[in-house]
Structure 1
């Protein structure tokens, strides 16, 4: 009896989710039941999910690099492919590294990197107030979170000291935003998705400023798409940083890495 009851609960939950068009109904059912076993709460969760809300917003958390990251409604949901960016950053940094996470969203990248490295000096920024509130919860006791546009709210004392600069910038071309799944298009902030005409507008802004913030030998890591990688490399090279691209077929992830050469002088206020 005790074995059949949970099986029956999972089965009925899967049926309801599948009927609503959830492709990964079995996985979603397991996640829901790992969050609550209260029948009334389960019914409420299913109702919201069937209405089209992202599962992570319904549950209140997203799985990322083995962590449960709090994700509030209206906040960008961290994607599993971005775990690849975090792994690349961890391979380039050591304990105590000075890390900046731009466009931090929920703070998932900084939280995951801090766990992997053990101890870092972490600063994160986002322009969305809802994301900043969420990130401050996820990074409490781990790092400082600032509200503002890219580098603008960061302390000037970080200039030339940043060893790892994470930038999970929006990179969907404007004309393609309408092709995204409704969960993203409707329930996530457009500013976290829309990267301009070719998807690289925010990347260009980050790359233009990055040399003034990176320490000699420091690294900027930016998620992009495979088709945008060549243009991203050209943009990085023009900034005086050394570019390379790494990818993961398993996660369908592409990351551009830009390194400030050792001994390279910081550019002046107008860039260069």
Structure 2
């Protein structure tokens, strides 16, 4: 970027707006700007309360930059646990050489699918939002994208064949959305936040439908919170899955794991 040095002014404005990491944010915004005028526009958006990631157009996730933009849910670092669990549970190729089948439900910009594509698995991602799927297409090239409501979005040919379903479904209780930071409450889609009265309505729907779609021994992974994990695992157990919880305190990640029972072996 050429022209006058605008970084000190940017830092001061960001700090005055309450940005804790003003120096770091100013450096990122300056890197993204093509001119002083561009920088002014980016800083103004950030000072007005727009999330940094949406201003930049990307978010870092498991070491890669994912494309994001206005009107989409921004992946959080805690969701890296969901992606790591999905990666760890993708099986090798079957006896006929067929790849594993994995699905990211409620995918948003597809952070988990983006992490899974390099494994060589058959990767699918589904969401209600056309805007989110446009970013998912950029982030997870090679994944098959589907628009619709949970399992209704998936092609019938996947029934009984999916090895891993991973979902960061909305899990904020409805009456707590008003208390969320404006960066989320104002700038991210309400549907990506609202999990119903206790926050796990969508988790129950995911669990209830999973058995018909999972392969024997397949796994459903759902991001949840420590306070809601027992509700999520209870829904999995009612659906016939064997449930447990995995946590990563360092990043605040919490994932409910539900495993379908292997097919019965007949003599």
Q: Does the pair score TM above 0.5? A: yes
CA RMSD of aligned residues (A): 1.9
Alignment of 1:34-113 (within 5 A): 34-36=31-33, 38-94=35-91, 96-113=99-116
Distance (Å, rounded) in 2 between the aligned partners of 1:33 and 1:108: 26
1:130 equivalent to 2:126? Answer no
Distance (Å, rounded) in 2 between the aligned partners of 1:113 and 1:130: 21
Is 2:117–2:140's contact at 8 Å kept on the other side of the alignment?
Answer: no
Gaps of 5+ in 1: 266-272
CA drift at 1:108: 1.4
The two structures have a TM-score, normalised by structure 2, of 0.91
CA drift at 1:26: 2.6
Distance (Å, rounded) in 2 between the aligned partners of 1:26 and 1:163: 44
| Corresponding residue number in structure 2 for 1:223 | 223
CA drift at 1:263: 1.0
Is 2:73–2:189's contact at 8 Å kept on the other side of the alignment?
Answer: yes
| Corresponding residue number in structure 2 for 1:270 | none
Distance (Å, rounded) in 2 between the aligned partners of 1:180 and 1:170: 13
CA drift at 1:67: 1.2
Is 2:105–2:165's contact at 8 Å kept on the other side of the alignment?
Answer: yes
Partner SS state of residue 126, structure 2: strand
| Corresponding residue number in structure 2 for 1:157 | 157
Partner SS state of residue 152, structure 1: helix
Is 2:244–2:257's contact at 8 Å kept on the other side of the alignment?
Answer: yes
Gaps of 5+ in 2: 93-98
CA drift at 1:87: 0.7
Alignment of 1:239-250 (within 5 A): 239-250=239-250
Distance (Å, rounded) in 1 between the aligned partners of 2:156 and 2:81: 29
The two structures have a TM-score, normalised by structure 1, of 0.89
CA drift at 1:9: 5.2
